[in-house]
Amino acid sequence: MLLIPFLAAACSGKGDNRDNIDSIAEAAGDVQEYANYPWPALARLKAGENPIWFEFGQDGLNLIESASAASLAPFVPWPHAKFVTAMAIWNGFLVMAVNRDGFLIFMPSGGLSQSETTELILYRSAADNSWEPYTTESFFIWEDKPAVLLYRNDFFGELAVPSPNPQVYTLDILNAVPVGAYVPALEIFPSDGNWETELLRRGPDGLLYYRMKEKGQTRTATAYFRTADLNVEGKRISFDEWMNSYRGETPGNIPGNLALALECVLETFSGTTGLLKTVSPDFEGQRTFSLTNGSADENSIILSGYCRMSPENLALVVFPGGRGFLSYGENSEPKSFSLSALGEGFVYTGVAVIGNVVVASWEEQQEAGVGAAGFMVVDFTVP
């Protein structure tokens, strides 16, 4: 039997989990317990029935009562906002890439082998404010490490800072701050000039697609490439081929337990089309699937998914508003569930399970703008 005790509390919106967070800095006796990794430890999170909510502030993470209690942050174009770009399970850690900031890392309290704990340790790996002027839209795995690609987004404003050098930074288990990396394919530009790689993504065929743009007031050339190996130069492709790379993998590639949950989504909400962005300890990075065999574009609905094969078969599919379906165990019937309701204009953008804790990213959206953004954690007990 699967118990999800947070559902009723989440829907009621009542309760405050502020007593369930410890500042590591104040818990001097516990510091040594978390000193096995070089990243600064921010907090120990004791997940309960009521979600613990965090918002990205100008000076770091702010603990808030709920997403509806977030600050009245002005909407800014998304490349200039702080929000969770993407997340992935990496060597037992849950890693988030935060736009214009760095990495957040979640680990089960007591060690990576503690798969049933409801306590997490939260770490942060960032190099002061050095990422602040740059957009970190792409999150991928490079040489077995989580990596982001920094670039200057000139669509919503003029270029005011030098090109990032290097453009790629990785999360390193031996370093407190992200480490610069040289990725050969992303450094081989089409011609001389001030080029930057802007975006890298996995296509529906499993190949890697990336976009390069020449920066400058009079130079706006754009080039698109595809490769199976970032260690070698990619093949130049057309704009149409680039756009097709957004479609997501076909439904036939969706793991069985996740497909069961998605089937219930499509039966309950007939006509739903779009993409399913999925996190899994069985994936290298995040993968995107098409909900149907039809086409999807950049305006399609984006659902959030999580799946795993062990220690118990588990899959979640979540709509932006928080409703969804879960599948647990072998041959079990998927069940409907809901994360805590969000206010108007707020959406969930990603979901994952680590230990017995659900971690979900959220943000306030208005067209191409992002206002408040952050994440929440809540108990997800599997007895």
Render each residue's pLDDT in the chain as its tens digit; 383 residues.
233 332 222 223 344 555 565 554 443 335 446 667 899 888 888 888 889 999 998 878 888 888 888 887 889 999 999 999 999 999 999 999 999 999 999 998 876 655 667 889 999 999 888 898 999 999 999 999 999 999 998 877 777 788 899 999 999 999 999 999 999 999 999 888 889 999 999 999 999 999 999 987 676 799 999 999 999 999 999 999 999 999 899 999 999 889 999 988 888 887 788 899 999 999 999 999 998 776 555 557 899 999 998 878 899 999 999 999 998 887 678 888 899 989 889 999 999 999 889 999 999 998 989 999 999 999 986 54
Question: What is the C-alpha separation between 122 and 44, in angstroms, rounded?
Answer: 6
- Quote the number of domains for the chain: 1
Instruction: Give me the pLDDT at residue 320, please.
Output: 93
Question: What is the C-alpha separation between 284 and 165, in angstroms, rounded?
Answer: 26
Q: Which residues pair with 105 in a beta bridge?
A: 95, 123
Instruction: Give me the pLDDT at residue 11, please.
Output: 28
Sheet holding 208-214, edge to edge: 195-202, 208-214, 222-227, 235-237
Instruction: Give me the pLDDT at residue 21, please.
Output: 58
Instruction: Give me the pLDDT at residue 219, please.
Output: 66
Residue 119, domain extent: 6-379
* Residue 3: its H or E element: none
Q: By three-state DSSP, how is residue 20 classified? A: helix
Whole-model pTM: value is 0.88
State the DSSP string of 131-184. TTTSEEEEEEEETTEEEEEEE---SSS---SPPPSSSEEE--TT-SS-EEE--H
Residue 1 lies in a domain: no
Residue 256 lies in a domain: yes
Runs of H (alpha helix) within the chain? 6-12, 184-187, 239-244, 256-268
Instruction: Give me the pLDDT at residue 300, please.
Output: 72
Instruction: Give me the pLDDT at residue 193, please.
Output: 81
Closest CA to 149 of 223, 92, 91, 208: 208
Question: What is the C-alpha separation between 194 and 125, in angstroms, rounded?
Answer: 29
Instruction: Give me the pLDDT at residue 339, please.
Output: 93
